[in-house]
């Protein structure tokens, strides 16, 4: 069984300015590593197809979508919040990113591939039902998960998020949907400071203090995610794959290496094999040191492809 890679060159046209860490270089760095290591040839490559308005509205209000469309400039840059901006190409990239999660879901549920990775930007896990924030416009992983739940073969879904930032948008969208288990690890206290103390049976927040060692991250996954995932019995697992907890990442203060991402991916593929025939859709979130991001995605994909 193969691994699909879903991406689109137009995702590099979304540009929030030369100083912005969420830069087009991130995707170029990933592509370069996959080509240099030969991993690219092992992946079944698909070009992203844009999500429809109806698909985006699985996770977002119509007002949210139309507000962003009205905000997008003809030229230059317009800010949606302090650190989230639109250029003339941003929403095209955002709809391609959201569409990638849907394509990945269809490929994995259709059984033509074992799992899939969406190498896309803008990221999505901070985007709430009616709010763009934290470099995110549409919640790609949430749109993929809600699309999966429309399929007759899918009753329950799990979303796991190891980005260094808490996926507040995903929690906002699924806080009252018990069929969706949302597990996250994140640096705390830290951005975004929303929903971190929420009490819900389907929301498993695992805060990690700044400068904590990778062992603490691994314990959170083994002791908390693993039993919750096995009890939930998802029909498909989505990964909000942010790699900004890497020790070389400039954005935050966790100390993971690519070997921790390899270990985490191995644990998740083992769980997926037990629960759901190995079905995994992984969607890129953060990761702001392009070199560390490239090596981390390499480790992630080496496990997903069964190296």
The residue sitting closest to Zn ion, measured at its beta carbon, is 286
Which span (29-37, 46-54, 93-101, 236-244) binds Zn ion, by CB under 5 A?
Answer: 236-244
The dihedral through the CA atoms of 30, 34, 39, 40 has a sign that is: positive
| CB-CB contact of 6 with 103 (8 Å) | yes
List the structure tokens of 5: 């890679």
Q: Is 22 in the site for Zn ion (CB under 5 A)?
A: no
Q: How far is the CB of 35 from Zn ion (least distance, A)?
A: 25
Cα 48 to Cα 120: distance, rounded to the nearest angstrom: 9
Q: Is 244 in the site for Zn ion (CB under 5 A)?
A: yes
126 catalytic residue (yes or no): yes
Which span (24-32, 71-79, 206-214, 241-249) binds Zn ion, by CB under 5 A?
Answer: 241-249
Size of the site for Zn ion (CB under 5 A): 5
Cα 272 to Cα 105: distance, rounded to the nearest angstrom: 14
Give 198's contacts (C-beta < 8 A, 6+ positions apart). Answer: 171, 175, 205
Q: Which of 21, 124, 242, 278 binds Zn ion (CB under 5 A)?
A: 242
Cα 126 to Cα 173: distance, rounded to the nearest angstrom: 10
Q: How far is the CB of 137 from Zn ion (least distance, A)?
A: 15
Closer to Zn ion by CB, 163 or 260: give it. Answer: 163
Among residues 14, 64, 126, 246, the one annotated as catalytic is 126
Residues 62-121 interacting with Zn ion (rule: CB under 5 A): none
Query: What number of CA atoms fall less than 13 Å from residue 303's CA on the CB side?
Result: 23
Q: Pattern 153-192, binding to Zn ion, x per CB under 5 A?
A: ----------x-x---------------------------
Closer to Zn ion by CB, 15 or 244: give it. Answer: 244
CB neighbour class for 307 (10 Å; exposed up to 12, middle 13-18, buried from 19) = exposed
Closer to Zn ion by CB, 156 or 165: give it. Answer: 165
Cα 197 to Cα 69: distance, rounded to the nearest angstrom: 32
Which span (3-11, 22-30, 239-247, 264-272) binds Zn ion, by CB under 5 A?
Answer: 239-247
Q: Is 287 in the site for Zn ion (CB under 5 A)?
A: no
DSSP code of residue 149: H
Which span (60-68, 71-79, 151-159, 283-291) binds Zn ion, by CB under 5 A?
Answer: 283-291
Closer to Zn ion by CB, 244 or 255: give it. Answer: 244
Q: What 3-state class would DSSP assign to 207?
A: strand
Q: What is the DSSP string of 157-200?
A: EEEEE-SSS--HHHHHHHTT-TTEEEEEEEESS-TT-SSTT---
Q: How far is the CB of 122 from Zn ion (least distance, A)?
A: 12
Give the chain's count of helices (H) and strands (E).
Answer: 11, 10
Q: Is 286 in the site for Zn ion (CB under 5 A)?
A: yes
Residues that bind Zn ion (CB under 5 A): 163, 165, 242, 244, 286
Active-site positions read 126
């Amino acid at each position: 069984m193969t691994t699909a890679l879903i991406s689109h060159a137009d995702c590099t046209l979304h540009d929030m300015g030369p100083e912005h860490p969420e830069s087009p270089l991130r995707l170029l760095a990933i592509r370069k590593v996959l080509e240099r290591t030969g991993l690219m040839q092992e992946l079944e490559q698909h070009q992203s197809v844009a999500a429809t308005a109806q698909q985006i509205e699985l996770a977002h209000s119509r007002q949210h979508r139309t507000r962003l469309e009205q905000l997008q400039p003809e030229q230059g840059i317009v800010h949606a919040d302090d650190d989230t901006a639109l250029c003339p190409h941003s929403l095209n990239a955002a709809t391609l990113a959201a569409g990638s999660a849907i394509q990945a879901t269809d490929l994995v549920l259709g059984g033509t591939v074992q799992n899939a990775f969406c190498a896309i930007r803008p990221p999505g896990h901070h985007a709430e039902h009616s709010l763009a924030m934290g470099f995110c416009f549409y919640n790609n992983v949430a749109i993929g998960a809600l699309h999966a739940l429309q399929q007759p073969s899918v009753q329950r879904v799990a979303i796991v998020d190891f980005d260094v930032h808490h996926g507040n948008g995903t929690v906002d969208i699924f806080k009252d949907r018990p069929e969706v288990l949302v597990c996250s690890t994140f640096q705390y206290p830290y951005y975004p400071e929303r929903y971190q103390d929420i009490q819900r049976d389907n929301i498993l927040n695992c805060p990690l203090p700044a400068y904590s060692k990778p062992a603490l991250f691994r314990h959170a996954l083994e002791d908390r995610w693993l039993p919750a995932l096995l009890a939930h019995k998802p029909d498909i697992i989505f990964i909000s794959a942010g790699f900004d907890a890497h020790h070389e990442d400039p954005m935050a203060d966790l100390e993971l290496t690519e070997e921790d991402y390899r270990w985490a991916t191995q644990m998740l593929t083992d769980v997926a094999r037990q629960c759901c025939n190995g079905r995994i859709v992984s969607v890129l979130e953060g990761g702001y040191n392009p070199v560390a991001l490239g090596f981390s995605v390499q480790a992630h994909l080496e496990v997903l492809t069964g190296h």
